[in-house]
Each structure stands twice: as C-alpha cells, then as structure tokens.
Amino acid sequence: MSRAIASHILVSTEQEALDLKKQIEEGAEFGDLAQQHSQCPSKDRGGSLGEFGQGDMVPEFDAVIFGDLPLGDVSDPVKTQFGYHLIHVEKRIG
C-alpha cells in the first residue's frame, strides 16, 4: 500500500485558499500560514498530517496526494466536504 507524508491548510472558501497559495508563491512559509489560517487541528503542527496510507483520507484529497503533484509543490485548492485545502506532499512511500 502506498503511503505519504503531507501537510495541508484548510479554509472555508476557494478565494481564501487562492490568496494563501499566492502568498506561498511569493515566499511565505506554508507552515506559518497553516498555523495562522487553517481550520484543522493540524494547524498546531504547521499543517502536518504525518504519515498516512492511500485510502485514509477523503477521495478528493487522496487523488492529489497520490496523483501527479510534484513533491514539494503546493496544490491548487482542493474542495472536499470539509472546505478547501492547499496540500503540500513531502514524501511518497511505496
């Protein structure tokens, strides 16, 4: 089974996610923005979700994590039932 180590920022609107992605592209630190803006408890860890397996997350999230997003890049906003995520994949295992 494939596994990954990833972080995310969860916000309510696509516009918030787009604004945060722009800040990251302009040099802001992903973890700092996660701590300041994310609505997920993972914000206390800079958005880190740790290591998890394929199928452990909702399908839309999994598709990005185990898809073709280059390691180290930040995804475009991903909509799930929780809101909008910016996803940063640190490592894929297997």
pTM of the predicted protein model:
0.95
pLDDT value at residue 84: 98
Domains of the chain: 3-93 (3.10.50.40)
Q: Are the C-beta atoms of 47 and 34 separated by less than 8 Å?
A: yes
Rounded to 5 degrees, what angle do the CA atoms 44, 57, 69 make?
A: 85
Q: Check the CA dihedral 68-53-63-87 and report its sign.
A: negative
pLDDT value at residue 1: 80
pLDDT mean by block of 10 residues, the chain; 94 residues: 96 98 98 98 97 96 95 97 98 94
